[in-house]
Amino acid sequence: MKTITIGMIGAGRATELHMNAYQHVHGVNLRYKYIYDTDLKKCSFAKEKYGFEQCASSLQSILEDSDIDVIDICTPPFSHKEIVISGLKANKHVICEKPLCGFFKDGNTDKEVMLQQVIKDLEEIEDAVNSSKSRFFYAENFIYAPAIQKAAEIIKAKKSKILYAKGEESLAGSSSPVAGEWSKSGGGTLMRVGCHPLGAIIYLKSINSPNIKVTKIVSDIGCLTKDLSEYEHRHIKARPIDVEDHATVCLTFSDNTKAVIMACDSRLGGSKNYVELYCNDAMLECNLTMNNAMSTYFLDEDGLDGVEISEMLQTKCGWNNPFVSDEIMRGYYAEMQDFMECIEQGKNPQSGIQIAKEVTKVIYEAYKNASKE
């Protein structure tokens, strides 16, 4: 059985999600050799928690190690482009968290300028992917969620045409201290979480139409929480400085079908993730979270300090739908299983450079179009 040696870049929340998924991967042996983060305390903690052999002294030391088969990039998106290209040039397979890249300067910059810079960066990344013998994997977990995979199976079997798709990820903000800054995040809720349903819908549209493209975008993007008093703001973590906390994006595809993507940072009660497909011969509803695999009711939170119920939940009291096997339901396990099998068998992943490129381009075209309103 082949052993795949991993170098992890980053030691934050995305690393936690990826490492939880790696624990379920079967059919290949995984070796966790390095983890690297500029925050040495976080790096040391993650090393012990996940069983890495050592904390790397630098990114370059990982890239120069011939033992490393793949680097897993779980850093903030402003660092993605440089690390992706460096990894591919070092002949390492590359896993990159969403979003692939973006514009990381003042959020008040003209959105056309942003779009053109992002297109240039995407082309550079794609050139690096195409000129490398190594493979690129875009870590869009929604694509691998069981509900999305089942929808893909049905659409392919029935040769269904998706006439209208609707997808949403909404929650009560972000745990990241820099989520409100364009220079660190490359955008707000559309960039940060709207990319999830967008990626899933683009993937599903491509099942029966591999060359499908978005040809028209109408977008309404803004900020809902800036005028709230501190008291009114008490349950919402979103603190936008120069980014949006709400986005509704209407898409037209090259086959004249439609989709709507919604993302919002003022959704209380836990994260809401779904994709709905209105087909010519079927109706498919994919609920990722909250789903009703389990329901709980608590009068108090005694003894629940270390028990996760769900993401971005303000209180565990009352009725809730807990995350059950979240690494499976939201696609993280199947994502890493696919990536590791592709490395072992020399296959291309379901989520690669084309989806990453289209998602990023659509997001920045949506920003540009909204700025003209």
Contact (Cβ atoms closer than 8 angstroms) between residue 222 and residue 255 = no
**Strand, helix or coil at 51?**
coil
Say whether both 300 and 164 belong to one domain. Answer: yes
Structure confidence at residue 266 (pLDDT): 95
Amino acid 361: pLDDT = 98
16 pLDDT above the threshold of 90:
yes
Assess whether 99 and 231 both reside in one domain: no
Judge whether residue 274 has pLDDT over 80.
yes
In this structure, are 101 and 158 located in the same domain?
no
| 274 and 329 co-located in one domain | yes
Per-residue pLDDT, 13:
92
Number of structural domains the chain divides into? 2
Is residue 313's pLDDT more than 90? no
Is there a domain that residue 354 lies in? no
pTM value is 0.95
Q: Judge whether 107 lies within some domain.
A: yes
Average pLDDT over residues 216-230: 96
* Residue 77 belongs to domain with CATH number: 3.40.50.720
Q: Which residue has the tokens 């869009």?
A: 140
Q: Give the model's pLDDT for residue 52.
A: 98
What φ, ψ does residue 76 adopt, rounded to 5°?
A: -60, 150
Distance CA 70, CA 135 (A): 9
Cα separation of 201 and 257, whole Å? Answer: 12
Q: Is there a contact between 93 and 344 (Cβ–Cβ < 8 Å)?
A: no
Q: In the chain, what percentage of residues exceed pLDDT 70?
A: 100
Helices (H), 54-181: 59-63, 80-89, 111-130, 146-158
- Paired residues of 278 in beta bridges: 164, 283
Q: 84-113 burial string, b = 16+ CB within 10 Å, else e?
A: bbbbbebebbbbbbbbbbbbbeebeeebee
Q: What amino acid is encoded at 138 in this protein?
A: Y
Question: How much is the pLDDT for 162?
Answer: 98
Q: Are residues 88 and 177 in the same domain?
A: no
User: By CB neighbour count within 10 A (0-12 exposed, 13-18 middle, 19+ buried), where does 319 fall?
Assistant: exposed
Give per-residue burial for 35-66: e unless 16+ CB within 10 Å, then b.
bbbeeeebbeebbeebebeebbeebeebbeee
Final residue of a structural domain among 140, 160, 177: 140
Whether residues 149 and 131 fall in one domain: no
Q: How far is CA 187 from CA 38, 86, 360, in A?
A: 23, 24, 11
pLDDT of residue 205: 98
Within this chain, do residues 199 and 315 fall inside the same structural domain, yes or no? yes
Mean pLDDT of 147-154: 99
Q: Please tell me whether residues 163 and 200 are part of one structural domain.
A: yes
| Shared-domain flag, residues 314 and 190 | yes
Residue 345 in domain: no
Let me know: does 252 contact 278? Beta carbons within 8 Å.
no
**What is the Cα–Cα distance from 103 to 113, expressed in whole angstroms?**
9
pLDDT at 372: 82
Q: Predicted confidence band at 351 (pLDDT cuts at 50, 70, 90)?
A: very high
CATH number at 182 reads: 3.30.360.10
Cα 134 from Cα 296, distance rounded (Å)? 46
Region 195-217 average pLDDT:
97
Note down the domain range covering 28.
3-140
Q: What SS3 class is residue 165?
A: strand
Q: Exposed/middle/buried for 246, CB within 10 Å: 0-12, 13-18, 19+?
A: buried
Segment 119-134 shows an average pLDDT of 98
